Amino acid sequence: MNAFQQYFYDLAQTHPKWNFIYLYDPTQTDRVIEGLWMTIQLSVVCVILSVIIGVVGAWAQGAHSKYLRLVMQGYIQFFRNTPPLVQLMFFYFALGQFTPTYSPDGWLEVPIISNVGWAIISLSFFAGAFNVEIFRAGIEAVPDSTQEAAEALGMNRLQIYIYIVLPLAFRVSLPALNNNLVNLVKTTTQALAIAVPELLYQMISIYNDYSTAQNACMVFLFFAYFILVGILVLGMHRWEHRLRIPGYGA
């Protein structure tokens, strides 16, 4: 045990309510790191997927096909009007029953979509539903007259969408997107309900095993999410700043 670990070990002896066990017991440290890593992976993958769902969905919402628009509307209403926790449990416990399984050894039956897989699917669709609405609002904010000018210059619909509408819509959407992605990162904690070993799951496991570690675990949770979301927000703000157009809009 090094001096740092020793200090927290001693602290736990003198102040039993402040047992920072994950700072001196390597086994617990590993659990925290595993949880943190899972949370980061879950967040990054879900952020990317939800943004893709948002862009494609916003395009589909403006499509000519009435059927496609109806499907999008149904999707958005479903995911926006139900709690993400219920969605997670529904995906994993209900839909999970019907997904095919495979057997690695002839005995076990392993579903092809794991709980982590379902968490990614469920959370991405949850945040994606909001992203669709966010991007749609951005697209609507692009003046028709600007698109008309592009049309008069001979650009076709796809060119107008790619070179004019999306770059402008994206800038308008960024602040709202920012909020939604922050929410998404925080919502990854709910994957706990289907036993995804993310940070909250691991911390609860630690203080279930060592009840004196409860306060210390809570402290770490706040600290960790504060930093994680802080990094995301900082990155988004930088991006927003870089995309700012001199003399344009807000």
Partner 1 sequence: MTNNDWTPDQPLVSIHDVHKSFGDLEVLKGVSLDIMKGEVICIIGPSGSGKSTLIRCVNALNTIDSGSIKVEGLEVHDPGLDKLELRKRVGMVFQQYNLFPHKTALENIMMAPLKVLKQPQAEAEERAHKLIKRVNLGGKENSYPGELSGGQQQRVAIARSLAMNPDVMLFDEVTAALDPETVNEVLLAIKDLAQDGMTCILVTHEMGFAREVADHIYFTDRGVIVEHGPPATFFTEATDPRTREFLSQIL
Q: Which residues bind partner 1 (CB under 8 A)?
A: 143, 145-146, 148-156, 159, 163-164, 167-168, 171, 245-249
Output the CA torsion 107→109→112→115 (10° steps): -130
**Quick one: 108 or 250, whose CB is closer to partner 1?**
250
Q: Give the nearer residue to partner 1 in terms of CB position, either 160 or 200.
A: 160
**Which of 164, 135, 120 is CA-nearest to residue 54?**
135
- d(Cα 52, Cα 132) in Å, to the nearest integer? 9
Please state whether beta strands 101-102 and 110-111 pair in parallel, antiparallel, or not at all (unpaired). Answer: antiparallel
Measured from the Cβ of residue 19, the count of other Cβ atoms closer than 10 Å reads 25
Phi, then psi, of 105 in degrees rounded to 5 = -130, 10
> Could you tell me the smallest distance in angstroms from the CB atom of residue 57 to partner 1?
23
Minimum gap (Å) between residue 216 Cβ and partner 1: 49
Q: Which is nearer to partner 1, 73 or 146 (CB)?
A: 146
Q: What is the dihedral of CA 119, 122, 126, 131, to 10 degrees?
A: 90
Q: How far is the CB of 102 from partner 1 (least distance, A)?
A: 48
- The answer to whether the CB of 142 falls within 8 A of the CB of 8 is no
* Shortest distance, position 155 Cβ to partner 1, whole Å: 6
Nearer to partner 1, 100 or 246 (CB): 246
Question: Residue 1 or residue 149: which is nearer to partner 1 going by CB?
Answer: 149
